[in-house]
Amino acid sequence: MIEIINVVLIVFMLISAVGALRVKELVSAAFLTGCFSFFAAMLWALLLAADVSFTEALAGAGIATIFFLLALFGSTHTIRPQAVSFTWKHAAAAGLTLGLGILFLWGSVGLPAFGDLTAPAQMHVSPFYLLNTIKDSHTPNAVTAVVVDYRGFDTLIETSVIFTAGMACLLIMKDKAS
């Protein structure tokens, strides 16, 4: 069932996201992005997704905010530039985005109810993983077992993507330093 605290957290997430887009000082915008990640971490914790909440709090509210602030320290643009006036192009873009949003909302009516036990996502491979992790690998934490054992190939490629991101950052900035 949809509890009121979930709605409150989502509203706070919306407020901090809109604030990060509208505020004038970019340092404040970086902090508001961290705020958004913090509320998202609380939401995942309330939905009992402990691993995701842990990672979101560490990486989103911690490391990503640090990286945004460091990027701002290295640049001279710390005030958001003046917004241009509202022309017909902006109106067309806003209309298209609103139309896409309405399409999404219309499509979401056909999704299963929140917390439905007979949803297709809970019927196909999830019961197999949840019932067989302890027998297959003595790992009570099903998330670790799925991520590293049952779907280990995805994690390998994801790790190499993380490494590539670090390398790309290094290659871009090394060019500027020399």
Partner 1 sequence: MIKRHDSLIVQTISHLMIPIFHLFGLYVLFHGHYSPGGGFQAGVMIGAALVLEMLVGTQNELKKFSISRELQAAVTGLLIYGGIGALALFSGGEYLNYEALSFLGKDPSYRRYWAILIAEIGVTLTVSMTVVIIFQVLAFFPEKEKVK
Binding site residues, partner 1, CB under 8 A:
50-51, 53-55, 58-59, 62-63, 66-67, 70-71, 73-76, 135-141, 143-145, 147-149, 152-153, 155-156, 159-160, 162-163, 165-167, 169-170, 173-174, 176-177
Q: What is the DSSP letter of 125?
A: S
Smallest distance, partner 1 to C-beta of residue 147, A: 7
Residue written as tokens 């036990």?
Answer: 117
What gap in Å lies between CA 72 and CA 94, rounded to an integer? 29
Smallest distance, partner 1 to C-beta of residue 107, A: 32
Encoded amino acid at 49, one letter: A
Smallest distance, partner 1 to C-beta of residue 72, A: 10
Q: Which residue, 76 or 108, is less far from partner 1 as judged by CB?
A: 76
| 4-17: burial string, b at 16+ Cβ within 10 Å, e else | eeeeebeebbeebe
Smallest distance, partner 1 to C-beta of residue 138, A: 5
Q: Which residue, 83 or 171, is less far from partner 1 as judged by CB?
A: 171
What gap in Å lies between CA 15 and CA 7, rounded to an integer? 12
